Structure 1
Amino acid sequence: MRRDTLLSSRLSGVVVAVLFLLAVLPVAQPARACTAFLQADLIAGKNYDWNLDQGLILVNKKGIAKRALLLNPAEKAAEWVSKYGSVSFNQYGREMPNGGMNEAGLVVETLMLPCTQNPGEDDRPAVTAWVQYQLDNSGTIDDVVASDKTIRISQGMPMPIHFFVADAQGQAAVVEFIEGKMVCHTGEQLPHKLITNDTCDQSLAYLAQHSGFGGSQEIRKSSRGSLDRFVIAADRLKAFQPDGSRQAAIEYAFDTLAAVRQGKATKWSIVHDVKNLEIHYKTERCDKIRTVRLKDLDFSPKTPVRMVSINTPHTGVLTPFFMDYDADLNSWLIYYCVKHTPMLSQIPDMLLEVLARYPETTFPK
């Protein structure tokens, strides 16, 4: 029996219980806030504000055949072969990234949005790991927007989130699922290239009330509410004056992330240098910069998947410290993080085993 068939069979035995849990678990949770933006000079920033800081940085290969893992086996699963290699930050297991950047310079990041309502079932095949699908298949914002015609995000997605996307052409998009429809803000609909944890429309309307953006209210720089973080970050993006220095631009992005950080709840601060295909990040445990250079990595499907702990003790360029993928470590990460996430902690162990074994269903094409 094929591994994907076996996993689907095991998954069907727990799907009813899982879907019930997802229906009754509260959406509102404490300390769940993030900020993402694209500043001039192709520098994207993201604060990951959460209660957990464990995670892996994974090298995802191109030329890999995949079939989406869905909570509801009755849904039609999307199938694809990855077109691009990528680097992702994963807290809930391999193939289920929080965010990342691919070799085309596409950045995709997730942020909580409580009012999210994903599409209902229709003729399109579904994915749960929407971020990995986009990193695998999309090179530009246009590709991401066009994908809504061919795939949909599953209703079984266990967290209410929206997405911030940036590409190597300097375009940005906020992708939300509102009342079952994709709502994409880009171009003139996204005059300020950032998002926090309210809808794009709500955030832009609040911004317009403030001095420098058409209103008279002073910016509340000490506030850490979602809407005020949006205003603080927008003000810094507006003030940024690029001088051609990549180092200065990266430092400015980190300073912007510091201006909206949530104290100890900010676990990772990530800066994507899209132009140079480099990812720089700091953690709550260590404020020294670590760097991942995509150009140093092998995205060929013929070599093993590589990984490094987000909290590696090493700093600077991390290329020498990547190791071959460890399935046991991936399994531990899934169990630990799910059991310590309030809105997920009641998910049955059998499903966690399915998630841990899901990478075994992918193969070079």
Structure 2
Amino acid sequence: MTQSAATPLPTPKERRRIREAKSLTQAQLAAKVGVTRETVRSWESGRTAPRGRKREAYARLLTDLTVRPPARNEERDQDRKRARQPEPVAAGAVPVESAAAPEPSPAAGTELPAAGPEQPAGWTPAEAFDLLYTHAAPFLVRQTYLLTGRRTLAREAVERAFQQAWERWPEVAVDPDPAGWVRAAAYEYAMSPWHRLRPAHRQPEAPPADADDRKLLGVLLSLPPVHRRALLLYDGVGLDLPETAAETEASTPAAANRILNARDAVAEQLPELAVPEQLHRRLTELAGAEKLDAPKSALVRSVGEKRTRFWVRTAIAVTTLIVGATALTVRVAPTHYEPVPAPGAPVSGVPPLTGPDRLTAQDLELRRLLRAELSGGPERLAPVAE
């Protein structure tokens, strides 16, 4: 059906949600509409609005991609019982066509998504967490690898970030961008300077197999951490400048300067990446070239719960020890103190100072005898001729 130029469109946030619900990248959607990926990113961020025939084609495509609402809890529970599937998200219980994003490949133009799917109404916290993890974890591991250059640290950072998200799920679930919340936590953990003290991080990991990838990764790691993070968020993930500034806790001019300085540093060593579109393409290809898999969401939740229980029990034990030590101190501490007497005041209970007793007659005789003896010892020997 032909639509007029005033065809209504969803909000920018809803446009992005519809695209991600169908597991489409910005490049794939741009190919369907006949525009560039940068144009789609501008439409979804709200910086620009489509017009004319592009608006009609974009509106028709969004209408075709509209996701039907999730099934009711009772119907979903019945489907699970019939299918006997322990993992509803992995088994396909998500009301969209597929909950998991397709495995990216460098040839297909791997995207680094900026936001995760919205939590469907009526879902349990574990199901919503699994949906977010399935959508964001594989891409986030690759992004963190570009940030650190270490595969093990990238997996560990993403796992810790999702464990924190599960511990604070009531807060994360209502966040406007749950994937951004997890991404910020993962980046903060991965960029912690304390990792330098770990023995495993004193030796560099194996570089990428491709020579161009090794060179690009080396250039990225040579950048200051704050510049590297801003460049990855803006040119790699595709965030807008205010969003990049907010996530890096910097002002918008400061974030812009960091991005420009990072681009200049990359272009100085790799002149072919002076164009932002080429830099974005190479970042996504470098991220997709590494086969970095994240652990299962159920394992992440269980490990996070075990760690939480351990720290809770530790806090209880330390608190109990402090209370016991305080009680023992109160029990054995004296309850009454006598005041110190003033100088010159008599002190009661102290015997009077006395001298030696008078000498008896026997003592006087003994003293006389001792004085009569030679005080220098035995008599001096004199030489005698024989």
The TM-score bracket by the shorter chain reads under 0.3
Structure of higher CA gyration radius: 2
Bigger RCO of structures 1 and 2 (CA < 8 A, at least 6 apart): 1
TM-score, normalised via structure 2 length:
0.22
| TM-score w.r.t. length of structure 1 | 0.23
